[in-house]
Amino acid sequence: MLHVPPLVSTLTIGLVLAFSLGLLAHRIKLPPLVGYLVAGIVIGFAPAVGADQNIANQLSEVGVILLLFGVGLHFSVQDLLSVRAIAIPGAIAQGLVATPLGMVVGWALGWNPAAGFIFGLALSVASTVVLLRMLQERRLLETERGKITIGWLIVQDIAMVLALVLLPAITGLFQGEAPPDAIEMTRQVAEVVGKLLVFTLAMLVVGRKLIPALLHYVAHTGSRELFRLAVLSIALGFAYLAAELFGVSLALGAFFAGMVLSESQLSQQAATESLPLRDAFAVLFFVSVGMLFHPAIMVDAPFAVLATVAIIIVAKSIVAFAVVRLFGQSSSTGLVISASLAQIGEFSFILASLGLALGVLPTEGRDLILAGSIITILLNPLLFAALDRYFAWREHARTDEGGPEVEAEEAEAKDEATPTREPIPVTALTDHVVLIGHGRVGRFVSKALLEKGVPVYIIEDDPDDAADLNAHGVHALHGNAADPEVVKSANLGEARCLLVAIPDAFEGGQVVEQARTINPKLRIVARAHSEAEIDHLAKHGADFVVMGEHEIGKAMLGELNGQERPISDAVTGMANAGPIRGR
């Protein structure tokens, strides 16, 4: 009988089950990551299915690398330096509070102080994957509060790199061993810090020139396959070099690689090419966490589980909020950052594994860390939902109060009502054409319409392109048009026509369906690449679907018969014409 390799079975079972339960979770109005975690728990209970825990952990590392690489593409050195004043003391303060509290829990459970120290340290560091997914979903990644949170996370990662090196010596002190040689400890710390500095300088000096130059060279070959391979090679290759040569974590190496590439004009294209693999492997992170979970800990030590969760969600959040307010940031910023950091993840597991390897941390400690991780990851979306309701209530209360108010009080009340999702203003344009996508087709269409004086509102997922359009006086928004909030910003109720110029018919169908719900009488024109896509878009409400191959054929026949029609006239006519294809 043919045996399926463990790598293939782990990848297949993990993704299929995560998809199935993620879809079910979405169906019952829960975040998909709940389904991913449950998928891991199910696999963990059924080892006979053939999924390998070690392989799942390694595959999830790829997701973490690509995720941090993508974040780096939207970050700059200036962004990182601008938040250092709050991120460094914030990360340190959380560690100084969470670690002693963890030691108290360990003492109550009868552990030695070294075990409590490792346990508390593991509770102090947030999960990279969870934090970034929440910021991305709520469009907070490129905001001030998002930058502060990312800077905070980077400081925690660097601190954990140092902790992993010093942990054997520190735990030895707790266990009554002879103090390590001060000169040797100093040498070890200096070596780690020196490697970090050398790595940072190498990335900023050499990497800043090498990485963009390599990507630009590959782009000029015209091969999309090579370009995609180059992006993955840069992300994974520099992460590997960072870990092997400089002792830096894989995630941190990938982040720096993305950050030095962010200054290149190809950064957005690089992000697009890495997106599908990033999302798929990031899902495996949640599956691997679920596989590690031992539910028996919930019955054996329920109060210890509650104490663990309280340290992660309550104690860490209070510290984060206090630090943010101490540095003059708003209350809403403090609440959002506190909620973002109120969970634990991958570095916590690494610390737990090291504690077990050193013979210091009991298995009960590892199980508590895993239980705390899963529970706080599940609660994190609920924390943000609660904040949304709180901010909405504050805004409603402020509106009802009315009357003259002191300017400072009004500003504070307004700040308290800031949602955890950045609000998108609705355009004031009327009788306008809404254009989704500004690639090759979108550029051609917008140029023709603008030359004829037709008001255009463009939604484009390339931030640089959207910024350039706005700089030239064109109304444009950076975002994914499939997001309901983004679509609402286009003021479709007052629009003349909607042109969906993106090549992805699945996403286009979502846009068309939402637009048709907002304005049943709106003229909608979409783009397709096959007969099946034409049917799909028409089914969702498109009045007219353009298939490139058909239009090329018509143009050729028109040329043959001497009846060609200028394309620019056709585009304008299409925006103003009556129904061509009924729904």
Note the pLDDT tens digit of each residue in 186-204: 777 777 778 878 888 888 7
Mean pLDDT of the residues in the chain? 80
Query: For position 57, what pLDDT does the model report?
Result: 77
* Residue 534 region by backbone torsions, left for phi larger than 0, else alpha for psi between -120 and 50, else beta: alpha
CB 102 within 8 A of CB 122: yes
Tell me: the pLDDT tens digits for 483-499?
788 888 999 999 999 99
Report residue 548's pLDDT band, with 50, 70 and 90 as the boundaries: confident
Query: For position 480, what pLDDT does the model report?
Result: 79
Separation of CA 183 from chain center: 42
Question: For residue 410, is pLDDT > 60?
Answer: no
Question: For residue 407, is pLDDT > 70?
Answer: no
Alpha helices in 519-566 (DSSP H): 531-539, 548-561
Question: For residue 535, is pLDDT > 90?
Answer: no
Dihedral, 362, 316, 158, 65 alpha carbons, nearest 10 = 80
Q: Are strands 523-528 and 497-500 parallel, antiparallel or unpaired?
A: parallel
Tokens at 445, concatenated: 């269409």
Tell me: the pLDDT tens digits for 237-249?
888 888 888 877 7
**Helix, strand, coil distribution of the chain in percent, nearest 5:** 70, 5, 25
pTM: 0.66
Report residue 177's pLDDT band, with 50, 70 and 90 as the boundaries: low
Between residues 161 and 352, which one has the greater pLDDT?
352
Residue 183's contacts (CB-CB under 8 Å, 6 or more residues apart) are none
Helices and strands per DSSP (H, E), number in the chain: 27, 6
Tokens at 221, concatenated: 């070959």
CB 106 within 8 A of CB 115: yes
C-alpha dist (Å) from residue 131 to 147, 204, 542: 12, 26, 37
Tell me: the pLDDT tens digits for 98-119?
999 999 999 999 998 889 999 9
Of all residues in the chain, what percent carry a pLDDT higher than 70?
85
Residue found under tokens 């340190």: 92
User: In the predicted model, what is the mean pLDDT of residues 352-364?
Assistant: 85
Tell me: the pLDDT tens digits for 305-353?
999 999 999 999 999 999 999 988 888 888 989 999 999 877 788 788 8
User: In the predicted model, what is the mean pLDDT of residues 113-140?
Assistant: 84
Of 61, 63, 24, the closest CA to residue 42 belongs to 24
